[in-house]
Structure 1
Amino acid sequence: MSWTADQLDLIGRSDELEILTRRWTPIWAVTTGGQVYVRTWHARDTGWYGHAVRTGRARIRVPGLETDVTVAATTERRAEIDGAYRDKYARYGTGAVGPMVADAAAASTLLLSPAGAAGAR
């Protein structure tokens, strides 16, 4: 299943996406090439990131959309994803965006895909 244009717009316009693995956690997310990507500046086995990687699934929400997703690690399209982070979050400055486009964060990139019929709220 693919993201719809409306879903990508909702996610793209939202400053943060909330991800639920054990509890709702706000994180930065970008859309590019019809896909949704998230990263963590500090990958670890605990917290939302570790749980999402272990289970391969999560639930996400932004205003107007809440849906289950599959989660897959990816190293593809790094330059494009880095650029999307820089463009979307530039207003926070390089001190905030820099860690999200560093090698360690890029290595933590996750591709989020709709798990089934996506639900709008």
Structure 2
Amino acid sequence: MPSRSTFEIEQEIATKLQKQSGAKEVWLFGSHARGDAVPDSDFDFMLVIDDYVDASEVDHKVESAVSQICNEKSVEIDAVTIRDHAFHHPLEDLHPASVSYACRTQGVRLI
């Protein structure tokens, strides 16, 4: 049986993270989004959450989902949450070294 593509795995992870967290958007960033990942590269996800949800509750759900997915898939995942207004701040106002800037300029929106 052929192995699943990296894109299919990224989509599956993004869907699980979105379902667990209720995120409005899920972005892939880092080496997998840029196309320069090596076999042991982790998957980096940015989850854009509503401005009015309890961020600590969402973070707890995300941590639980990441742990479960890492165990199921034998992959490493970093997932960061950010409020909608902060993520969609004008790009020219973001610091070029920020995760938000990297995600918006080099990332791929999956959901």
Band the TM-score falls in, shorter-chain normalisation: 0.3 to 0.5
Which of the two has greater strand per residue? 1
Which of the two has greater helix per residue? 2
TM-score normalised to the size of structure 1? 0.35
**Greater C-alpha Rg:** 2
TM-score normalised to the size of structure 2? 0.37
